[in-house]
Structure 1
């Protein structure tokens, strides 16, 4: 078993049941200061990746080397087995029985006469198979050791909670700035070790960003950690890799690896309370949000909404997607998600919010100000 590389039928697919990657939305007046991941992707010339074969971190590179070694060895063994089978078929064809021989009894003398040559071949192949298997086990152990030796001096610490079916990320206070909470999207500085504390809110989940590391399970009642380092800037797609219920395939996340200056700017924005709007429709939407059930499930720092069951929405519009990667973060999708989330993500714990069309438009207008 390659460390951290187990394959889940849903998790292994980069777009698992989600269709094409969401198209970029048209940005508003704040585009000049936007740090959204898709904007960053366009600048670095990449696309969101989810592939263990394109490592962007030191641990993922170790896993990729082990995978390549295993693939080469198993490919050679497979070719040799096919070659031996082909030789046997050819030799059998040359010694096909003639019509006169079909009436003769079979030659069973080999049952009592030792076949030294065949025995030597079988013993030799068996010994070679054991040597190959032991070699793969040694390579596996050495890879495990290499994965555990990442230097974690001055790490960035993030607390991650997996729930059905979304991710909550809590950034701890650091450098005199307060901590903050976001959802379904991690930003990390390139070249700095990241230590992620993992907790499960309900059932077993598994944190997997294949470009950066292998899998790590989130077990209810047990705290675990995973350490990784992004050595290349880019946007990497992560996925829950342990079946956790009906919408397991729609429990995705983005990890945005940025230069330290860009990461520091993102942190400064995230640590601030929600922006205040003077727009009359947006203010009406805020009032509707605060008096409806929305405020019991979501937090918006700077407002009276302090709910915890659902994602923190303080800087909702800095995220590229909603519903853990299911939908692009557009006004139309926000309205559809509020109107009937179960139609878009069956089984989700978010209830449909009974709002009039006018109130729903106002709420979406206010949510769009949460940059």
Structure 2
């Protein structure tokens, strides 16, 4: 078990600090990494036992055996021979075990471009030509039982994408595109986290992957691609007049800001603030009104000038985007 700060798996209502089972793989890519991790732990324990036994012999084994332990032969064996053997075994076994992480995925596999931002995730589902066909933020929907290829990028500083139960950790470096395959064998909700310190509210930069049955996933994607703008005209006007449209995008409207998360499907997301709050009316109002009190250092300014009625109208408009 490893204590991480992000949404509790299997709980669509309450993101919280929880213990996520990083040694409980839910797919083939995470499975090979888990086996290698246990092997490394076992080898480390074995080496530790050898070192402790040697230390005990050196302290309490008598002068004769102490001289042998400190002789040239023992130094060659223990200081050079043993590390060479251990590291060679680890290298060969590790490379053979994790070769599926570098093997090509089927050309028909879904591709998604995930871009690390301060401090959230931009998600773009790509078409056959590698162009964004649909844009979302902070959560990823995938079909269960099928590999998905992630293109990882960063727009600012170094981030690191990690969904422990689905694949390994891979850095997101500005100016570079790294490739990571993931797969969930069965439907479920899987928590992720930025695993490289990126300043500010780094610990509050969570992520959620939702795996669906393939037929359900196809229906979900078809529905989202034919999505039409929703919400009241009053809410849309307030969204524009308060400056929200300068930073956020809602497909099908004149809101095309790219500085903040895309809000086209904001009402149907499981969480707010990159996995730190459940997505409901109360938390949405609190986030819009003063996100700095919830996630200090994020790039969204507080909107304390809004009246209660305006805040409710704006909240209802954003929540209508599904």
- Normalized against structure 1, the TM-score is what? 0.75
* Two-structure CA RMSD over aligned residues (Å): 3.0
Q: Residues 246 and 318 from structure 1, CA distance in 2 versus in 1: closer, same or farther, beyond 3 angstroms?
A: same
1:142 correspondence with 2:92 = no
**Cα distance between partner residues in 2 of 1:116 and 1:249:** 47
Corresponding position of 2:258 = 308
Provide the rounded CA distance (Å) in 1 between the counterparts of 2:41 and 2:164: 18
The CA distance in 2 between the partners of 1:22 and 1:141, in whole Å, is 32
Aligned to 1:125: 78
| In structure 2, C-alpha distance between the alignment counterparts of 1:74 and 1:205, rounded to whole Å | 29
Question: Where do 1:65-104 residues align within 5 Å?
Answer: 65-91=35-61
Q: Which runs of 5+ in 1 are unaligned?
A: 1-11, 27-37, 39-47, 96-109
**Secondary structure in 1 matching 2:263:** coil
1:259: how far off?
1.1
1:171/1:199 Cα in 2 relative to 1: closer, same or farther (>3 Å)? same
Give the Å deviation of 1:301: 2.1
Give 1:157 shift: 1.1
Q: Which residue of 1 aligns with 2:189?
A: 235
* Rg larger in structure: 1
Q: Does 2:199 align with 1:245?
A: yes
Cα pair 1:274 1:300 within 8 Å, conserved:
no
Q: Deviations over 1:165-218 (max 9, x none)?
A: 00011112369xx92111000001112221112221111111111211112222
The 8 Å contact of residues 101 and 180 in structure 2, kept in 1 or not, is answered as no
Would you say how many aligned residue pairs link Structure 1 and Structure 2?
A: 313
Paired with 1:287 and 1:117, the residues of 2 have a C-alpha distance of 81
Alignment partner of 1:264 is 2:218: yes
Segments of 5+ residues of structure 2 without an aligned counterpart are none
**Equivalents in 2 of 1:122, 1:261: separation in Å?**
62
Structure with greater strand percent: 2
Q: Does 1:365 align with 2:316?
A: yes
CA deviations 1:11-63 (Å, max 9, x no partner) are x63226x8x7897559xxxxxxxxxxx9xxxxxxxxx9844311122221111
- For residues 250-276 of structure 1, give each alpha carbon's deviation from its aligned partner in whole angstroms, at most 9, with x where no partner exists: 111101111101111221222133453
Within 2, Cα distance between the matches of 1:78 and 1:313? 52
Cα separation, partners in 2 of 1:303 and 1:135, compared to 1, 3 Å: same
Please list, as runs of the form range in 1=range in 2, the aligned pairs for 1:120-199 lying within 5 A after superposition: 120-126=73-79, 127-173=81-127, 179-199=133-153
1:200 corresponds to 2:154? yes
Q: Shift in Å at residue 304 of structure 1?
A: 2.8
